[in-house]
Amino acid sequence: MGGSQLLIGVLGLVGLVGLIAIRIPIAFAMAAVGMAGVWALSGPLILLSQLKTLAYGTFSNYDLSVVPLFILMGHLATRANLSQGLFRAANAWFGRLRGGVAMAAIAACAGFSAVCGSSLATATTMGKVALPELRRYRYSPALATGTLAAGGTLGILIPPSIVLVIYSVIVEVNIVTMFSAAMIPGLLAVCFFVAVIVVYTWIYPEAGPKGGAVSRAELVSATLGVIPVTIVFGLMLGGMYAGLFTPTPAASIGVFLVLVYGVARGLIGLRDIRDAVLDTARNAGMIYLIVFGAELLKIFMSRGGVPQAAASFMLNSGLEPYTLLILMLVALILLGMFMDSLSMIILTLPFFWPVIAQLDFGMSPLELKLWFGILALIVVELGLITPPVGMNVFVINAMARDVPMLETFKGAAPFFFAEIIRVGLLVAFPAIVLFFPAWLMS
């Protein structure tokens, strides 16, 4: 019986891949395969029994309540023009350097990620703000669009991040601790991206001309424009790290502060609030459906014994722990060429995490969750700038229709290799990830 159950589970995985290949939305594909699999293995009564409580049990998870709040904060921040203030300040400081406007775009992407939590939203918003400026200074199309596509990936790692929240819920690790583990790797990504621009414009000086210098008064005025984001980010994360409140109240405070700022400046009205709430409902609904579909699939896979069989196969393969880790990271990069980041994390963790948890990396279970989570999210974000899907590339390319998509992928390629170097550093030196969480807990 066990062998036939495993066979059904494997066939279910094949069917899932087939549904995804014909462009069935991942949430519906996972739900359909999960329901069909549970029916086949346990019968319709067991399936109905699971469905009776599964939706409520999934959606009532308190940790997931932070997701729509972070999404709403991002939509309100976009309407409050916080992105423009960030880019204006960064451009005032870096714009006069060779490649400085592109560096400013990276810095602004990092800043906006701190109040957004979504890579696609970061790429979309900063593309609208920075692309006209990059064009005005005649940056090469490849560098301009590639920089914005890569800069958008910072939204997946720099706290608050929606994907980090989902990962934390799946592996059962404290969200605040997970956010703290992402801080140094996130800042390291910003430094690496700026270094890429420096090297790129050193080799191709015409690709990133110097921008215009600004007066001291303009510099001070532009710098003051980042105060709203600094206050929101500081109160949210500072309050969480200090133990004053948990992520959901922190996100509520962030939403309130951004809303008050936008209304006070006359940038957000009732119609903007309505549109932001509707957009949030659509985005959060999609995420919740993916999570629900994944829960159904997980029940089917567990009953079929597929994760257990996969874990046993990998653990008995005779490969070293670091070899298995690298193979998993490579698999995530390859999957990223065809799937979005959230779906990938939800789909692969039930197979990868049980294996990682049993391997000896000389870490405590908590340290292993933090370290693997950051590594997984970094390689997952690479899928946003790799062909053929490359969602960030598609988003930026839709704004720059005169730029061939191949040029945007070429422009994003140096950032991809910089990310591979960063992954190598984090694999070799886990302390980069673990230092800040250990310091906070000391």
Q: What is the pLDDT of residues 196-227, one digit of tens each?
A: 999 999 999 898 888 777 788 888 888 888 88
Q: Is the pLDDT assigned to residue 77 strictly greater than 70?
A: yes
DSSP 396-427: HHHH-TTS-HHHHHHHHHHHHHHHHHHHHHHH
Distance, in Å, from the CA atom of 267 to the CA atom of 260, rounded to the nearest integer, reads 10
One-letter amino acid of 105: A
Closest CA to 42 of 303, 217, 316: 303
Closest CA to 134 of 405, 440, 403: 403
Instruction: Kindly report the average pLDDT of the chain as a whole number.
Output: 88
pLDDT digits (tens, 9 = 90+) for 119-160: 888 888 888 888 888 888 889 999 999 999 999 888 888 888
Mean pLDDT of 415-437: 94
Distance, in Å, from the CA atom of 340 to the CA atom of 383, rounded to the nearest integer, reads 7
Least confident window among 2-11, 214-223, 240-249, 355-364: 2-11
User: Which has more pLDDT, 148 or 114?
Assistant: 148
Structure tokens at 102: 């592109």
Q: In this predicted structure, what is the pLDDT of residue 145?
A: 92
Q: What percent of the chain has pLDDT over 90?
A: 31
Structure tokens at 286: 């999609």
pLDDT bin (cut points 50, 70, 90) of residue 442 is confident
Is the distance from CB of 63 to CB of 169 less than 8 angstroms? yes
Q: What percent of the chain has pLDDT over 70?
A: 99
pLDDT bin (cut points 50, 70, 90) of residue 2 is low
In sequence order, the 6+-apart residues with CB closer than 8 A to the CB of 260 are none
Is the distance from CB of 152 to CB of 392 less than 8 angstroms? yes
pLDDT digits (tens, 9 = 90+) for 384-393: 888 877 788 8
Q: Is the pLDDT assigned to residue 176 strictly greater than 80?
A: yes
pLDDT digits (tens, 9 = 90+) for 300-336: 888 888 888 888 888 888 889 999 999 999 988 888 7
pLDDT digits (tens, 9 = 90+) for 240-274: 888 888 888 988 999 999 999 999 989 899 999 99
Distance, in Å, from the CA atom of 269 to the CA atom of 103, rounded to the nearest integer, reads 33
pLDDT digits (tens, 9 = 90+) for 32-46: 999 999 998 888 888
Mean pLDDT of 50-54: 84
Q: Is the pLDDT assigned to residue 1 strictly greater than 50?
A: no
DSSP 218-275: HHHHHHHTTHHHHHHHHHHHHHHHTTSS-HHHHHHHHHHHHHHHHHHTT---HHHHHH
